[in-house]
Each structure stands twice: as structure tokens, then as C-alpha cells.
Structure 1
């Protein structure tokens, strides 16, 4: 009986660890390893892959939580202050970062890196009212960029969803690798090797998107929130969003009518929605225009079900590609 119970305990621990979104509520810093805190799922996923057994990676965002509205807790500040590396997306995704960095212990040695640096950033129309774009606009920013003039930046509304394109994800992965090597040069070889493996997978994904999407007859997609700008730019598509950069910016009735007309005029067959956000508006528009809805995932986080199923950035992006191919036929 004891053996059976300990076997079940090991099994349940394995299942829990396989969920792959190591979040700050349960995670602990580890002595003798480089401790890395990440702001949300894509940064966590790439960092865990490159870090391998040499890094202890803790993700701040819990499974099933949409990153646009999340704010850190006091324990997150404590953990990050003691860690060696804090990796966040930047480009204005995490409106909480400037205050968070100011709240860290004065004696902290943590190195903070915005991993989207070097991606040519897109600006987007419309205010989202969620503090997006309050960090930096210019990808060549320095560490004072977080204190940049918020009003000046608010006019630009930078699109922060860089990771949704495999091309940008490659830039992010390289920044993550360089950051790990900088704080932990002793394990450089392992970081380099695992980064090369990840880069190869991203290159294959990029090639797959390029090949498949160059052949589709239609290029217009209608999405619930404006998260696919980099994907659209890099693979020749045009996105029309029901909402702005934030998934809870409310459209007007007039917006819906205008989009419904576009859907009919362009012969669009599907309206895309995403799992971590309510599909109510996408369904409203689909009913208005007499078309179907389908998932297009901005890979901002895993649902609990996806975590249990062993889904990751690559499986979700491949699913996105398959759904795009159906919709753009």
C-alpha cells in the first residue's frame, strides 16, 4: 500500500511538473542554479528550453490567465529581487514593469531584459486603455526606456505581440540565450546548444508558415483582438480586429456593423476568437455577418486543458496555421 501511495505521489508530481507553466505561486528559488523570472508564457517557454537543467525558470503568470490585465504580487517582487535574471517581453506588453522594477529591493543584483529588443516594432491604431506602450517604442532602447515619456509613447500605441510571428520569436530566443550566457557564462555551451535546437525548430515553423500562406487565395483575416500584426506583416496577411490591442477594449455597435460589411464584401468565411478571452463579440459579429467562428491563438498563455495535454508554443502555432489555411481557402 505504501509503495502504491508513493508511486501515485511521484506520478502526480510528474503530471504537475509536466504542466510546464511553472508559476510563481508554487515555485521556489534554487540555490546553486541561475534563477530566472519570466513575465508570461512565451518568454517562459523559450527560456525553459534554452535554460535546460542549468536554469531554474519561474513564470509569474499562472496557467489560464490572460497577461493584459495581470499584476504582480508582493511574493513576485521578493522572488525577482533574489533572482539573477528577469526576462519580460517589453514593447509595452507589461504595463506594470516600470513600477515593478522600482519596487525591487535596493540591493538586488537581478538583470532585467526586454526580450523583444531588436524586433522592428509595429504601431497600431486605437487606444486600448491598458497601459500598453508605456514602456518603450524604440527597439534600440536603453535601460532608461521604461521611464520614457508615457504621453509621447501613448500616441504611438506600439503593438506588443511580437512572439506571435516565428520570425520575431527567433530574435527573442537569441536575446534570451545571450542574457543567460551573460549571467551564467559557466554554462555557455549548454545554452548555445539548446538555443541552436530551438532556433532550428523556429526556422522550420517559419518556413512552414511562409510556404503554406504564400499559396492561399485570400489574405484578409478578422480577429477578436489585434494580436496578429507581426504574423500578418511577416506572412503577407491583413488583420481586421474587432477590438484594439487589449482584448477587453469594447467596440461600438457601429464598429460591428462596419466589420460585418467588410466580412460580406471580402467574402470572409470565419471570424477568429481566442481561448483566454470571451468569444462573445466574435460570435456577435459572426451572427451579424452570417459566418462561422474559429480559434486563432495569440499564444499568450496555455489554458489548463492545453497544459494537461502537453501543448506548447509549437503545437499551438501549427494549429493556428491549419486554421488560417481553412479560413483563407
Structure 2
């Protein structure tokens, strides 16, 4: 109770100090037309910001809370960002336990001013237990953590985008047709991406994919692949020696020549497996954020998803 009161007091104080400023140090997607009537939307991390921007077009101003290079699971908004979120029209977040800070903000925003949208609401989510059953991982573990990485599955990402569209329409019904038309175009791109994955991956005989951590359960389940994760749902969850031994044996038995890492990240324990089986490292991007170089090149959710597909094809040939 004291913490909640203190947080509310800090927010109130900062509002008084900062006025109506919406400056954000995190990368932002702003509409081409600056208009005070535009909806101000804060999204917890890149994919949701991208979806909101594509649907909202020049009727929204979208800010990404998690900055480039920060870990979405661990990032905490600054007090200034919390004030700005309190002044926004919408806060869009993933849910499924991805953003640990959300409950604190939800308890302090004015619901009449700021709509709070959980994009995984009403979606069927994987538990850690299901991940073990789906991907033949039988290491002893009694936790039931939910897998939050739904945006990597194009069809689940489409449902997240639809939830965002519905929130925009509810908040700004006068532009309903714009939001619905933009969403329809975005939905077609998700469907095309899904068809590309189905077509390309269904032709490959190999189905086992070794990943540095278990972020790809929805993606691999959708397309009939078997994710063999070295670490857990969080990249800092370390495997036991028994688990490492099982993965190395599996890789040798099935002649697996590639191990997938996140971009710019090769955890030490995963590198051990790579060295042990003489595997080639490949990137499987979790799409949690773009690098400055990718932004300059005009990369987005779809171009990087296609690059992931090409790397999967390389590994599974």
C-alpha cells in the first residue's frame, strides 16, 4: 500500500514538473502528420509499436517503451516514461508475463484517460509444461511459466494486431474505417508470411531446430518443427549438465549442423554446444527490437521474419 501511494505521489509530482511533455528516449514511430488530435499510443516493445503504427497510420503517434538494445523481459520504464504513459490515450502491452512493470502502471493510470490493452488476451498460450511436451524436452522442472513469445507466429501476431485495431476504434470511432482498412492490409501481409513459411518449410525433411533459448515455441509449433532449446523461456535460465549432454547427443544423432542464436548474442553455455558438435551459428531473430542499422535499412517485422525463414531453410536442408 505504501509503495502504491509513493508511486502515485511521484507520478503526480512529475506531471506537475513536466507538464504535457511526451518526449521519450526510446525509439518512436511517429506519424507523418503532426496533429494534436492524433491518438498518443505507448507500446511496450517493437512488434506492438509496429502493428499500432501500421494500423493507425497518420492518426496516431506511437512511442516504443523498451529502447533499442534493452531486454524486454527486464526493462523498467523510467519515472518520466511512466508520467508520459499516464498522459497517453492507449498503453499497449503483450502480457503473458513479458512486462513485469505493467501491473504497477495499470494500478495507477486513469482508465478514463488511458486505455490499457493486453494484446494476448483471449489467445491460447503455451505453458512451460506444454513447451516440454510439444518439443520433447523432459528435463525435470515443476514450474509452469507462460511462454509470451506469441508475436513470432504470424497468425497469432495477426490476432494481436486485431486487438490493437479494436482498441483504436473504441478510442477513436470517428476514424473507424481508416483503422479497419489499414488492419485489413496488415492482415493480408500476415497471411502471406504464413503461407511463405508453410510452403518453404513443409518441403524440408529435417524438423529439429536447436535454439539458444526457448523463445520460438509458437513459431515451431505452427510449422511442425521441433524446438530443442538449450536454455529456458528466459535467456538467463541455465540448463543442467544432463540437459546439455542430451542436446549434444541429439545433435550428433540427427547430424544437426547449425545452432540458432539471437542477433549479437551467443551465450557461453550455447557456445559450448556449438563447439562440441562443430556447428555453425545462425541468427533466429526474436523480433523484440530493431538495431539502428536495421532501422536505417528500412527493415521491419516482415523483412526480418523472412530472413528468419531463410535461415531456418539453411539449417533444415
Please classify the TM superposition score into its range, dividing by the shorter chain length. Answer: 0.7 to 0.9
1:29-40 alignment, distance < 5 Å:
31-40=36-45
Per the normalisation by structure 2, the TM-score is 0.83
Cα distance in 2 between the residues matched to 1:171 and 1:70: 25
1:230-241 alignment, distance < 5 Å:
230-241=218-229
Structure 1 segments unaligned to the other structure (5+ residues) = 1-21, 128-153
The answer to whether the 8 Å contact 1:126/1:157 transfers is: no
Tell me the equivalent position of 1:169. 157
Q: CA deviation at 1:120?
A: 1.4
1:136-285 alignment, distance < 5 Å:
155-275=143-263, 277-285=265-273
Cα distance in 2 between the residues matched to 1:251 and 1:227: 15
Q: CA deviation at 1:255?
A: 2.6
Tell me the equivalent position of 2:24. 24
Cα distance in 1 between the residues matched to 2:248 and 2:293: 32
* Aligned pairs, number: 281
The answer to whether the 8 Å contact 2:129/2:143 transfers is: no
Greater relative contact order structure (CA < 8 Å, 6+ sep): 1
Q: Are 1:95 and 2:83 counterparts?
A: no
The answer to whether the 8 Å contact 1:118/1:171 transfers is: no
The answer to whether the 8 Å contact 1:126/1:244 transfers is: no
Q: 1:107 to 1:85 in 2, by over 3 A?
A: closer
Cα distance in 2 between the residues matched to 1:23 and 1:310: 23
Cα distance in 1 between the residues matched to 2:311 and 2:196: 14
What does the per-residue CA deviation read over 1:38-77, in whole Å, with 9 as the maximum and x for residues that have no partner?
0001001111111100001111011122212111111121
Cα distance in 2 between the residues matched to 1:257 and 1:315: 35
Tell me the equivalent position of 1:48. 53
The answer to whether the 8 Å contact 1:23/1:58 transfers is: no
Cα distance in 1 between the residues matched to 2:244 and 2:268: 12
The answer to whether the 8 Å contact 1:276/1:303 transfers is: no
Q: CA deviation at 1:31?
A: 2.9
Q: 1:259 to 1:107 in 2, by over 3 A?
A: closer
Tell me the equivalent position of 1:6. none
What does the per-residue CA deviation read over 1:198-230, in whole Å, with 9 as the maximum and x for residues that have no partner?
111110000000111111101110101111111
Cα distance in 2 between the residues matched to 1:157 and 1:244: 10
Q: 1:217 to 1:23 in 2, by over 3 A?
A: farther
Q: CA deviation at 1:256?
A: 2.0
CA-based RMSD: 2.3
Structure 2 segments unaligned to the other structure (5+ residues) = 1-21, 132-141
